[in-house]
Amino acid sequence: KAGVTQTPRYLIKTRGQQVTLSCSPISGHRSVSWYQQTPGQGLQFLFEYFSETQRNKGNFPGRFSGRQFSNSRSEMNVSTLELGDSALYLCASSAQGLAGINEQFFGPGTRLTVL
Amino acid sequence: DQQVKQNSPSLSVQEGRISILNCDYTNSMFDYFLWYKKYPAEGPTFLISISSIKDKNEDGRFTVFLNKSAKHLSLHIVPSQPGDSAVYFCAASAEGAQKLVFGQGTRLTINP
């Protein structure tokens, strides 16, 4: 079974631009979560989508948004990029939706650099 | 407010010995705990998990212990192997939510 895939793997943008990152979950997984990893803040939860609906949200500004499609693929968008948005963005999928399954499986991440 | 804490940024262990990684949490609503291993430039890899109804879970060389009264969990790796060298994160979730709260990570180095 193929793992979680994320595209692109690396991205360089300038301040003020916007960016869209893509995630394809493991086949059959309906929950997709996004995390931001930075040296200072560690791994922080952005949001989670399940069946095309945002089910959980972390403490990030409205510039960070996401969506999920009917095939469970997900995108996240960051508008008006700031230098502090430079980070590794990780997507994770889970079969959660069945009772008691909470393990999330992560993709390799997209390294975003904002200049 | 750091709800999940890994107080040791790094740990060095001899190959073949036991590695013990520790994690403390403050939120009593957490009921599911996970350990992940992460290599540079890769996403975290799931290792082992434990529900709050248990106090121990074992999978091969990996054992996780949960002490709910102390709000403390630990990961034991026996025997430690060079391939275990990585950053280890503990994570917690509450009430089935997919929102994982991560600790800051512990860098484990296994010396030959």
DSSP states of A78-106: E-S--GGG-EEEEEEEE-BTBTT----EE
Taking residues A56-71, report their average pLDDT: 95
Q: Does residue B79 have a cis bond before it (omega within 30 degrees)?
A: yes
pLDDT at A96: 66
Checking if the pLDDT of B41 tops 90, the result is: no
- For residue A103, name the pLDDT band (cuts at 50, 70, 90): confident
CA distances from A46 to A64, A78, B29, B64 (A): 8, 11, 20, 27
CB A2 within 8 A of CB A62: no
Checking if the pLDDT of B27 tops 90, the result is: yes
- Rounded CA separation B19/A33 (Å): 30
Subunit contact A108:B93, Cβ cutoff 8 A: no
CB proximity list for A112: less than 8 A, separation 6 or greater? A11, A12, A13, A19, A21, A78, A85, A86, A87, A88, A89
Taking residues B51-74, report their average pLDDT: 96
Q: Which residues of B touch A53 (CB under 8 A)?
A: none
pLDDT > 70 in chain B, percent: 98
Checking if the pLDDT of B61 tops 90, the result is: yes
- Rounded CA separation A35/A109 (Å): 9
For chain A, the distance separating the N- and C-terminal CA atoms, rounded to the nearest angstrom, is: 37
Q: What is the pLDDT of residues B3-13, one digit of tens each?
A: 999 999 999 99
Q: Is B41 on the interface with A (CB under 8 A)?
A: yes
Q: Which residues of B touch A109 (CB under 8 A)?
A: 41-43
Higher pLDDT, residue A103 or B66: B66
B99 closest CB neighbour out of A42, A45, A100: A45
Q: What is the CA radius of gyration of chain A?
A: 13
- Rounded CA separation B19/B62 (Å): 10
Minimal-distance CA residue of chain A relative to B90: A43
Minimal-distance CA residue of chain B relative to A31: B98
- For residue A13, the distance in angstroms to the closest alpha carbon of chain B comes to 19
Q: Does residue A108 have a cis bond before it (omega within 30 degrees)?
A: no
- For residue A9, the distance in angstroms to the closest alpha carbon of chain B comes to 10
CB A78 within 8 A of CB A63: yes
CA distances from A38 to A35, A41, A45 (A): 10, 5, 12
Q: Is B52 on the interface with A (CB under 8 A)?
A: no
Taking residues B20-43, report their average pLDDT: 93
pLDDT at A102: 67
CB A105 within 8 A of CB A4: yes
Q: What is the pLDDT of residues A34-52, one digit of tens each?
A: 999 998 888 999 999 999 9
- For residue A48, the distance in angstroms to the closest alpha carbon of chain B comes to 7
